[in-house]
Amino acid sequence: MTPDFWHDRWQTNRIGFHEAEANRLLVAHFSQLEVSAGDRVFLPLCGKTRDVAWLLAQGLQVVGAELSRLAIEQLFEELELVPDITELGPLTRFEAQDITMFVGDIFDLDAQTLGRVDAIYDRAALVALPQDMRARYSQHLITITGGARQLLISFDYDQSRMDGPPFSVQTSEITHLYAGQYSVVPIARTPATDRMQERCDAIETVWVLR
């Protein structure tokens, strides 16, 4: 899966993964992140998710990484914020008030550039990557965040019934990727909503990684 795949999805507005409201599982299980006002929450591969606005409303600082500049430009427009934009080598940083977004390849983002991370919310990153990229991604995420605790959402379905993304990521794989660094605890399982449930009978699982 190449960057062109995602750039094309944004350019042609084929972003069925984008939700009009804050994610229901984030709202229901947010307290599991055990963060306080002023803490900094990292959203990898965040797009223009409405989860950002919801987290900002909780008094948090939000930092994200996203490949598509268009997505981040739309995010700031929808938030009615005018960002300061800084070029950082292969990355571009958008900043305003309590929000910082890095545009570019997440593998070009290092711990020093990212800064402090108190918690990670991964709704759309792990499941967006094919299996041969997920081990590299998970280790990179641990490295750049210092192993910050995570709220992770995954999908479980028969991959033969639907092409990803989002991909099905089995319990055994999540344990393999993260158990060396975290205690890996599933806290909720629920049928997926909308088109995914209609097409492939998917289950969403919410994980807490501490």
Binding residues for S-adenosyl-L-methionine: 10, 45, 66, 123
- 188/197 Cα distance (integer angstroms): 17
Q: Which pairs count as long-range contacts for 56-62, CB under 8 Å and 24+ apart, including other chains? A: 56/98, 56/99, 58/30, 60/35, 60/98, 61/98, 61/99, 61/100, 62/98, 62/99, 62/100
Residue type (1 letter), 85: I
- 136/140 Cα distance (integer angstroms): 6
Look up residue 43 and give its two tokens: 């959203």
Which residues sit in the known binding site? 10, 45, 66, 123
